[in-house]
Amino acid sequence: MADLTPEQQALAALRAEIDSIDDQILNLFEQRLAVAATVGRAKDAPTGPHTKLRPDREQTVLARMLSKCQPENAEAVEHLWREIVGWGLARQGRLQVQVWAPIEPTRAYDGARLRFGAAADIRMVRDPQKALAFAAHKHRDQRRKDV
């Protein structure tokens, strides 16, 4: 470090600080994933709530995070939290989403990816009936599990 300029030393110190923060973020994220897996098991319990996807809960978490973050960070926080929640849901069971869009299918796919995150298994389908049948089948399976 002695042969570095003061600017290089300052940059190295900042990078070391980022590395330390990254280590903390990783530790906390892995803790969150472990808790999410436990939540999933609780949802699977005979008397549990059973529904894995809870948009109301997700919106509550997102709204809470957005209310706490700096306004200039809101867009980044929203995208980050959608991914965090998506990976938490994946620990409870991989989310499968089928998208049908007769107009602008790429935009619809991108919207689904933004909403459900990279952890979701998102597929485009050409037939709206196929997408509806998939949703109905998953819903029936969920109701059977809930009974």
Helices 105-116 and 74-92: crossing angle in degrees, nearest 10, is 80
CATH of the domain at 68: 1.20.59.10
Q: Are residues 36 and 81 in the same domain?
A: yes
Domain that holds residue 130: 95-147
In tens, the pLDDT along 25-69 reads 999 999 999 999 998 888 876 665 566 677 888 899 999 999 999
Cα distance from N-terminal residue to C-terminal residue, the chain: 66
Confidence at residue 78, expressed as pLDDT on a 0 to 100 scale: 94
Q: Residue 73 has which token pair?
A: 């960070």
pLDDT, mean of residues 103-108: 88
The total number of structural domains in the chain stands at 2
Query: Which 8-state DSSP code applies to residue 52?
Result: S
pLDDT exceeds cutoff 60 at 146: no
Q: Are residues 39 and 70 in the same domain?
A: yes
Distance, in Å, from the CA atom of 44 to the CA atom of 112, rounded to the nearest integer, reads 25
Q: Are residues 37 and 63 in the same domain?
A: yes
Residue burial 114-135, b: 16+ Cβ < 10 Å; e: rest: eebbebbebeebeeeeebeebe
Q: Are residues 111 and 77 in the same domain?
A: no
Q: Are residues 76 and 104 in the same domain?
A: no
**Range list of H helices, the chain:** 6-44, 55-68, 74-92, 105-116, 128-146
